[in-house]
Amino acid sequence: MRYKVALSKIKDIISKLHFTNDGDSYEGLYWTFFKERFPNCEDFWRYFIVPFTKRIDYKIKIISGADYTSESEFLNQDPSERIHSREDISQDIQDIGSLHYSMFVNLAYSYDNLRNFRKSSFEAFYMHLGSACDLAEEFLLKTYLLILECTDQKSEILQELKKEDFLKRAEKWYDDNYSKVYGDYLKKGKPAPIKLLPRRNVLNEYFKDQQAWRQYKRYSQKIREYRNIIVHDIRIGRIVTKDAGQLVPKKEKIQHYKRWSYVFAASKDILKLKNDFINMKEQMVLDIGKLEIILNKLWERPINDIRKLFFEDKNKILLKKYNIDLT
């Protein structure tokens, strides 16, 4: 049975909810690290996630400005129950919410490693930051597919390929990647996966030529390269100095310093030390701050699209997925 609620009441609830007063323990604890550079993370939570949870499943009475009749009691309820989805919510809606939350948690873990620095924090920081990028793209992809479904559109790039088109893609992949894949196989004993329809190609279609998307692709690629070396290669070499602390190769230079011998040689070259290396913690601070700013700009598109579908168009497909009847 559909949950019946007035659109004005949903808007009123959203206007009064924040991570700090109705998020879970992670959202409440770590929101201070996000609110300046990535406020759209909370905005997406308001407009997309709150309406499919039990946060809206209560009786309210509009009194002079649409205030709650029992707001204190409402906000003091068990949050572990309120954050759960209501009954019969579409699985793709729940998956998008889960991906969004998982990205937030990985960013929070990155902050935790920066704030409570331990021996393994440098490596853990980039593992979580790289995972945040992976999850962000999966979240954006599923959101785009949801928007296509709700607007009765189809992705051109995801249309079923004819055999000749598939073979053309396979041939291009061979020309662009095979020599590297073969070298990796000889070196590591396993081939890289073949991706003829990368996730980013579909997102190129969604964001078209937006500057925020171009900026994200460049920045996240360097973070992933750094993360992948940490996970799959030898430990990143570092240079310990009296004045500048622990120096590590910059993300943009890491491919030149995968061997320790190159790192140690650079420690004797003042110019290379200045241009190719950076204080470990300084790079971490710069990377998470820059990534948040980029994600915040990128989030504008899905927020606007979902808000329009739900609150302006009252899209029937989307409302059915939310198991809501607007009264």
Residue numbers of the chain with a pLDDT score lower than 50:
59-71, 73-75, 77
Closest CA to 7 of 43, 47, 38: 47
Q: What is the pLDDT of residue 293?
A: 98
| Other residues' Cβ atoms within 10 Å of the Cβ of residue 285 | 11
Closest CA to 288 of 107, 119, 134: 107
By DSSP bridging, strand 3-5 and strand 324-326 are parallel
Q: Model confidence over 90-145: pLDDT tens digits?
A: 999 999 999 999 999 999 999 999 999 999 999 999 999 999 999 999 999 999 99
Q: What is the pLDDT of residue 190?
A: 56
The domain ranges of the chain are 3-157+219-326
Report the predicted TM-score, pTM, of the whole model to 2 decimal places.
Answer: 0.83
Q: What is the pLDDT of residue 61?
A: 34
By DSSP bridging, strand 277-279 and strand 245-249 are antiparallel
